[in-house]
Amino acid sequence: MTTNLAPATGISRRGVLSVAAGLGLALPASSVLTACGSDDAETVKGGVTRTYQSALGWLVGNSPEIIAKEAGYLAEYGINGKLVSSTGTAQALQGLLAKSSEYSRIQPLSSMITIANEDAPFVVFGTSVQASAFEMQSLAEKPVKSMKDLEGKSVGIISAGGTTDQMVDLMAVRQGVKPKDINRKVTGLGTAAHQFALKGDVVAWIGSATERTALEEAGHKIHAWSFDSVIKVPGDSFVTTRDELDKNRDVVVKVLAAYYRGLEFVVDPKNDKQTIEYFRTYNREITVDMAQAQLDVARPLFLAAGRNNIMKTDVTQWDTMQDALAQAGLIEKTVDLSTVVYADLLDEALALI
C-alpha cells in the first residue's frame, strides 16, 4: 500500500523504538526495567509457584501475563505467580532448560528451529498474537512489490540471524527466489532503516505499522505489505517444557486459563487505564501516553483472528512454517507437531473459566 499523509512535526527515534518494541514481538528494546510488580496476590496457601520469564524486558505486549498475576487470576487457580525479565529469546529459553522458570512467550520461528535442530524439549500451549507485526517497507517512489524485486539487491533487517532475517528466507522461498540471492544489511528500526533506503544502501527494509505511521506523519511516502500476505506463520506463542506438561498438565492448563483471562482484559478498551497501571508497575520508563499508543497497535494483533479466537493456536500455520523452514534449509529435519503444539489445551483452560 502506498500512503501520502500531510507532513507532521517529525519523528522521535526513541518514541518509534519504544512503541514498536512495546508490542513485545521479537523486536529489540530501547530500554527496559526488570520486574518490580506488586506482591499483593503472590502468596497462595498450599499453592504451587510458577515463574514466567519474558523474552524481552517488560513491554505492553506482555500485559496479558502481567494482568494474570496482578489481577489475581493465577492466585484464583492456586498458583503463586512470579515474573522475571530477560534480554532476549535465547536467555528466556535457557531459563526454561535450567528450570529457573517454567513459562515464556516467544516467536515460533526461534522455537521451531531449536526444537527441530537441537531436539529442544519445548512445547506450545497458547498463541496470544494472531498476526504479524512486520511489514516489508520501501520508498513509494521506488516500491518493492514482491520478493522477486529483491533479487540481487539489499534489504534492511533488524538483526543478523534473527526473526526478520529468517522471514526473508521463508518469503523468498515462497515466491520462488533463492534466499542467497537477496543481500541483507542490518539497519535496525524506524528512521535508521529509512535513512539507509534514502542513501541507496537498501531498496527495502523490515519494520512495523507503527514505524510506517510515524514516517508517514513526518511527510514520507512509504510503500508497504504485510508478511502475512506472503506466508502466514504463527504469532507469539506461550511455551513450556515437555517435563512440565507431562508432570503438571493441570498446572499448565490453569496458567493458560489465567493468561486467557488476562488477554480478555487487555483487548477490552474500557480496561485500558487499569491495564496501563498494571503494566507500569513493571516498566516506569514508558509514559501513560506511550503505553496507550502501544496498546492501540497491539490490540488488532491480539484480535486478528476474531474475538472468539483469542489465544487460539492454529496448527496448520505450524505445518506451513515447518515446511517453509525445511525448504529454506533452516531446519535439518521435520518433527511430529502433535508432540510440540498442544492446541487442545485451550479447551481445557476455557472449561475452568
* pLDDT digit string, tens, across residues 229-249: 999 999 999 999 999 999 999
Higher pLDDT, residue 298 or 2? 298
Tell me the one-letter amino acid at 28: P
Question: What pLDDT, on the 0 to 100 scale, is given for residue 31?
Answer: 30
pLDDT exceeds 90 at position 173: yes
Q: Which residue spans within the chain are E strands per DSSP?
A: 2-3, 48-53, 79-84, 104-106, 122-127, 134-139, 154-157, 183-186, 204-208, 222-226, 237-241
Q: How confident is the model at residue 189 (pLDDT cuts 50, 70, 90)?
A: low
Q: Are 217 and 19 in contact (CB under 8 A)?
A: no
- What's the chain's average pLDDT? 87
SS3 sequence of 265-317:
HHHCHHHHHHHHHHHHCCCCCCCHHHHHHHHHHHHHHHCCCCHHHCECCCHHH
Percentage of the chain lying above the pLDDT 70 cut: 87
- The CA distance from 154 to 138, in Å, is 12
- The CA distance from 103 to 53, in Å, is 6
Structure-block grid coordinates of residue 17:
523504538
- The CA distance from 186 to 189, in Å, is 9
Of 10-24, 43-57, 252-266, the least confident: 10-24
Residues listed for the chain: 353
Question: What pLDDT, on the 0 to 100 scale, is given for residue 256?
Answer: 98
What domains are defined for the chain? 2-22+133-229 (3.40.190.10), 48-131+234-350 (3.40.190.10)
* pLDDT digit string, tens, across residues 99-140: 999 999 998 988 899 999 999 999 999 999 999 888 999 999
Q: Are 281 and 275 in contact (CB under 8 A)?
A: no
Q: What is the mean pLDDT of residues 300-328?
A: 95
Count Cβ atoms below 10 Å from residue 165 Cβ, excluding itself: 19
Question: What pLDDT, on the 0 to 100 scale, is given for residue 316?
Answer: 96
Model pTM above 0.85: no
Count Cβ atoms below 10 Å from residue 141 Cβ, excluding itself: 8
pLDDT exceeds 60 at position 332: yes
